[in-house]
Amino acid sequence: MPAMDLRLESPLDMHLHLREGEMLTLVAPYSAAQMAGGVIMPNLVAPVDSLARVREYRAAIEAACDPHVFTPYMTLFFRDYIREELVAAKDEIIGVKLYPAGITTQSEAGVRDFDRIGATVALLEELDIPLLVHGETAGFVMDREEEFLAVYRWLAETFPRLRIVMEHITTAAAVEFLEKYDTIAATVTLHHLLITLDDVAGGLLRPDLFCKPIAKTPRDRKALRQAVFAGPPRLMFGSDSAPHPRDRKECVGCAAGIFSAPVALPALAGLFEEAGCLERLDGFVSANARRFYRLTPPAKTVRLEEKDWQVPEFFGSVRPFLAGSRLRWSVAAASLAEE
């Protein structure tokens, strides 16, 4: 049997951490090698919470990878904004990202009181700017996402025209919830399709698999997989690729985040192939996001080929997801150029 080829039109990573400085320079090319663009998270050490900061960060990203090859879709860090700020920023951002305070890496500036966010959220609805949400409460770590569904419900019912993205959903409950509101979409990571808490802490402890939201139960993973493989229109791929240097992972007080950008499309292709639905991969990694966000990304065809490779143990100081394992699919070299 001849080896298969797989062509993806303008694949997009709808949830991506590119960091700053040397880390940005190190990791951005791995996203650019696979994706036509990505939604860039704004939780830098100093949050990206003004148009000036958006421009500054975009320039840094464009210096790290050619914007003709990879489009950074910028986000603003949620705070109280006035109308003029959002009007001015609207054409330069894809959405506003809300973090509950202290819930994940560099989220200390996030929301402490959800009773006080209404004015800004109403502006987002009026201006048709999507609201992207890290949806976890401060409750017990395994229950945080499910508990937060009440906030999503309130948002969807109070702001019925607001487009909302439940970021990196991990639970059967979130999958079920998603079906209830046409205005809500969700991103799903690669790693939450692959691992459960058993992989993180069931044998030896694996800081390289530690992320927020934490990986859940086998039942949750099954529900996520079933949903993604069924191909509903409002589930989008967002890697949540979140690199940390080794010394922030293999220590007491290990940072949350999995660096999956270098393996994203090859691992997804393997997963969809095993599930017998390779034809649905395009919807998950591109078409669904284009429709929900009304995006027209630059034309970029990424070609995957059936050619196995071993994931390196490290990219610079960062251990990638699936380090050391063999993947059946590779990104063909030709994919890097625009076609």
Q: Which residues are catalytic?
A: 240
CB of 210 to a second copy, least distance (A): 4
Distance separating alpha carbons of residues 122 and 108, to the nearest angstrom: 23
Distance separating alpha carbons of residues 284 and 306, to the nearest angstrom: 20
Q: Can you give the binding site for a second copy, defined by CB under 8 A? A: 140-142, 196-198, 200-202, 204-208, 210, 214, 217-218, 249-256, 319
Phi, psi dihedrals of residue 111, rounded to the nearest 5°: -75, 130
Paired with 71 in beta bridges are 37
Distances (CA, A) of 287 to 131, 235, 237, 280: 20, 10, 10, 10
In DSSP notation, 233-253 reads: TTEEE---B----HHHHSSSS
CB of 253 to a second copy, least distance (A): 4
CB of 222 to a second copy, least distance (A): 12
- Judged by CB, which is closer to a second copy: 201, or 277? 201
- Judged by CB, which is closer to a second copy: 91, or 247? 247
- Judged by CB, which is closer to a second copy: 208, or 305? 208
CB of 247 to a second copy, least distance (A): 10
- Judged by CB, which is closer to a second copy: 58, or 192? 192
User: Residues with Cβ < 8 Å from 91, sequence gap 6 or more?
Assistant: none
User: Residues with Cβ < 8 Å from 156, sequence gap 6 or more?
Assistant: 162, 164, 180, 181, 183, 184
